Amino acid sequence: MQKVPCYVLLVSLFSSALAPLSLSWRQNKEFNQAENYEGSSDFVDLEYHMGPVLAAPINLYIIWYGHWNLSHQVIIRDFLYSVSSSSASHPSVADWWKTVRLYTDQTGANITGSIWLSGEFYDSRYSHGGYLSRLDIQSVIKNAVTSSPRAIPLNAHNGLYLVLTSSDVQVQDFCRAVCGFHYFTFPTIVGATVPYAWVGYSGTQCPGMCAYPFAWPKYSGKPPPNTNGGNNIMKAPNGDVGADGMVSVIAHELAEVSSNPLVNAWYAGDDPTAPQEIADLCLGVYGSGGGGGYVGKVYKDSWGNGYNVNGIKGRRFLVQWVWDLEKRRCFGPNAMD
């Protein structure tokens, strides 16, 4: 689940069958990421718990819930297309996904390199209102797969559903504990067990939390000034704090849902209701030396926007690193070493 900088898993998978996994941040520790694991693997007990990973090519379906701005949709779509594209130059989004692909299931099958955007559904009428509980997200999926005439398929074989809520939609725990989460649907609600993730629009309700590092957390005081009177907050690579911030949360959730789709595969920690998953371990780390409130070494384009990977159509994105199983540390394709 995406918790943003610094989290504790809150989930109560088993104490409450209705609560998807999610992490919460200890907000006051945002800039003191003592549990940032870059460089030290000694305390990380990431283990495989014998469940499946997403090894078959993934058919990804987006559900746009609420009112979505076209320019935001394009940024997110281009990011998703970039995951499986070989056309972007190194370091690319697809290079970043290679670290995710190191994870296998018990048959030795790796996580797939193919994520195809296979359908989109516009829930522009807010089918379940302006406030969604965690469980409501499953009803939103149910609506999208049964709605006529433009339903997306219920693909229980290799479907993955990404529910994105617009700036005006409140979601249980959004901005208080989480920026996104992943889980799997209940057959009683949706008709099948399929993995899904939800991510909220990062730009409006709590950008300092969910669009970090393009916005500054309120509780951390003023951002450091720079010499020409502005501040040193990183500028978003596609010019949109909300959508660019969401991209990293989506990347985080994609990595985790792929390596732990039924919450019984790859995670660290003794408590399956509060797992630390492969992206949780690297929260707030985007480049070499990252951690403790420093994003790490990333690039700046000629307008001064920060990024660490290239995507299709010349786009650039900033995505957080994930735990590398072979190197036993957080890693991304823009690493200096």
Ligand X SMILES: *[C@@H]1O[C@H](CO)[C@@H](O)[C@H](O)[C@H]1NC(C)=O
**What are the beta bridge partners of residue 300?**
306
Distance CA(217)–CA(260), nearest Å, equals 29
The contact mask relative to ligand X for 22-61 (x = CB under 6 A, - = no) is ----------------------------------------
Would you give the binding string for ligand X spanning residues 196-235, x where CB under 6 A is met? ----------------------------------------
CA distance 127 to 124: 8
Q: Does 110 bind ligand X (CB under 6 A)?
A: yes
Contacts of 73 (CB under 8 A, 6+ apart): 64
Supply the minimum distance, in Å, between the C-beta of residue 8 and ligand X: 28
**Separation of alpha carbons 246 and 266, rounded Å:** 23
Nearer to ligand X, 71 or 232 (CB): 71
By beta-carbon proximity to ligand X, the closer residue of 71 and 231 is: 71
What's the min distance (Å) between Cβ of 69 and ligand X?
4
Q: 158, 116 in Cβ contact below 8 A?
A: no
Among 83, 249, 325, 330, binds ligand X (CB under 6 A): 325
Q: Candidates 97-105, 180-188, 300-308, 315-323 — which segment interacts with ligand X by CB under 6 A?
A: 97-105
Burial of 80 (0-12, 13-18, 19+ CB in 10 A): buried
Only segment of 96-104, 126-134, 204-212, 264-272 that touches ligand X (CB under 6 A): 96-104
- Number of chain residues interacting with ligand X (CB under 6 A): 8
DSSP alpha helix (H) spans, 131-262? 134-146, 187-190, 207-210, 241-259
* Choice between 196 and 331, CB closer to ligand X: 331
The window from 19-27, 98-106, 166-174, 205-213 that contacts ligand X (CB under 6 A) reads 98-106
Q: Report, in Å, the least distance between residue 108 CB and ligand X.
A: 8
Closest approach, Cβ 244 to ligand X, in A, equals 10
What track of x and - describes contact with ligand X for positions 232 through 261 (by CB under 6 A)?
--------x---------------------
Which DSSP state fits 73? H
- Tell me if residue 118 falls in helix, strand or coil: strand
- Piece of the chain touching ligand X by CB under 6 A; list 101-109, 193-201, 256-264, 284-292: 101-109
- Within 8 A by CB and 6+ apart from 34, the residues are 292
The Cα 294–Cα 116 span in angstroms is 33
Asked whether the beta carbons of 63 and 161 are under 8 A apart, the reply is yes
Nearer to ligand X by Cβ, of 41 and 69: the residue is: 69
The torsion angles phi and psi of 292, rounded to 5 degrees, stand at 60, 30
Q: How far is CA 199 from the centre of its chain?
A: 7
Task: Quote the tokens at residue 203.
Answer: 């730009």
Tell me: cis bond preceding 149? Omega within 30 of 0 counts: yes
Taking CB under 6 A as the rule, which mask of x and - marks residues 59-78 in contact with ligand X? ----------x-x-------
The binding site for ligand X (CB under 6 A) comprises 69, 71, 101-102, 104, 110, 240, 325
